[in-house]
Amino acid sequence: MTEPNGIPNCILALDLGTTTGWALRIGSSTITSGTLDLAPNRYDGGGMRYLRLRYWLEQLRLDSGGIEAIHYEEVRRHAGTSAAHVYGGLLATLTGWCEERGVAYQGVPVGTIKRFITGKGNADKTAVITAVRARGFSPTDDNEADAIAILLWALETTGGVR
């Protein structure tokens, strides 16, 4: 449900990966954030990380009263084949879940996020973490920092959804 000021009630930002960073803002309340470990354990089949993401999204949707918009880091180049496959699977899981529930979603290019939060489109991980901390947050790692930066970008440039 959208608030009277036009801002979506619940906005989620994700930095998809084996350690997925997330940041959530419900209404005009405080932003919460963290990381989600999607690494398979030794007994998992190949698709378990994707099911874990799907179950986590569904539980978050139920706990928050509904997610209206999701913004995620749109990665166009990966260092390795395995990382590209994992990202592609997580992205397919996310976008399929959003389509099934009518949740708006938008990818945000990596350079856009870095430029927004640090002023430089090619900033390194440390610079992003430092910039997010300068805004009053305490991310545990670069994944959480990226998710917070994405959420701040969404709130400040689009009102949460485009």
- pTM of the prediction? 0.91
Tell me the average pLDDT across 120-130.
96
Tell me which residue has tokens 């997330």: 22
- DSSP three-state, residue 122: coil
* Per-residue pLDDT tens digits for 64-112: 999 999 999 998 877 778 888 999 999 999 999 999 999 999 999 999 9
Does pLDDT of 134 surpass 80? Answer: yes
The residues facing 105 across adjacent strands are 70
pLDDT one-digit tens code per residue, 25-62: 998 878 999 999 999 999 998 899 999 999 999 999 99
Q: What is the chain's Cα-based Rg?
A: 15
Distance CA 99, CA 112 (A): 25
Map out the domains of the chain as residue ranges.
10-158
Instruction: Please tell me the distance from the alpha carbon of residue 23 to that of residue 69, in angstroms, as a whole number.
Output: 12
In the DSSP assignment, the letter for residue 83 is H
Q: What is the pLDDT of residue 46?
A: 87
In this structure, what are the phi and psi dihedrals at residue 143, rounded to the nearest 5 degrees? -65, -45
Residues 6+ apart with CB under 8 A from 108: 71, 72, 73, 74, 150, 153, 154
Predicted local confidence at residue 161, as pLDDT: 52
Report the Cα–Cα distance between both ends of the chain, in Å, rounded.
15
Residue 23 contacts residue 108 (beta carbons within 8 Å): no
CATH architecture, range 10-158: 2-Layer Sandwich (3.30)
